[in-house]
């Protein structure tokens, strides 16, 4: 059971390790490499604890592996949106296509027949529907709501904190 507790502590420490690798003397500039190094450091720290505690039971090792896997998947979803949201999806579309005859063809494959404008309209609809923005003057003006300002400020702070701004 101490192995599982150590794994929980390691997983909960991920944001702090990632923060340590985002700024200062240990900074790793590439966000993908930073993510991998943070998880490897935590896994190896857990491994040192596991070795120090002696031979673990197989079910504890399996539980820890499932725990680390779930934590890595969940954290990667958040990290990838923070770092690469749009870019990653463009890459996945090109992977699915194999190749595109032009940048416009690539854009259309990503955003549909109405291109990036339709995508922007869709995303604006999501933000309006979530209450992050409202329209004024019969839709001719957009304005952030307090909820939108808070969400935007938190996203901007997280982007600054983890050095993912471009």
| pLDDT tens profile 95-123 | 888 888 888 888 888 887 777 777 777 77
| pLDDT tens profile 11-41 | 999 999 999 999 999 999 888 899 999 999 9
Asked if residue 88 has pLDDT above 70, the reply is no
Q: Can you tell me the distance from the alpha carbon of 37 to that of 44, in angstroms, rounded to the nearest whole number?
A: 10
**CB under 8 Å to 39, separation ≥6 — which residues?**
14, 68, 72, 75
Domain ranges of the chain: 1-102, 112-166
Asked if residue 90 has pLDDT above 80, the reply is no
Hey, what are 128's tokens?
Answer: 């309006």
| Helices vs. strands in the chain: H and E counts, helices first | 7, 2
Among residues 51, 37, 49, 42, which one has the least CA distance to residue 13? Answer: 42
């Amino acid at each position: 059971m101490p192995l599982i507790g150590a794994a929980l502590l390691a997983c909960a420490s991920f944001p702090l390790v990632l923060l340590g690798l985002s700024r200062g003397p240990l900074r790793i500039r590439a966000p993908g490499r930073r993510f991998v190094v943070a998880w490897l450091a935590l896994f190896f720290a857990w491994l040192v604890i596991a070795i120090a505690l002696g031979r673990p039971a197989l079910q504890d090792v399996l539980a820890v592996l499932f725990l680390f896997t779930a934590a890595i998947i969940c954290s990667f979803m958040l990290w990838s949106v923070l770092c690469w949201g749009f870019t990653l999806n463009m890459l996945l579309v090109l992977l699915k296509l194999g190749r595109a005859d032009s940048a416009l063809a690539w854009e259309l494959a990503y955003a549909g027949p109405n291109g990036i404008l339709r995508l922007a309209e869709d995303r604006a609809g999501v933000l309006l529907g979530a209450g992050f923005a409202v329209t004024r003057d019969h839709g001719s003006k957009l304005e952030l709501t307090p909820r939108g300002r808070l969400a935007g400020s938190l996203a901007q702070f997280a982007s600054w904190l983890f050095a993912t701004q471009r």
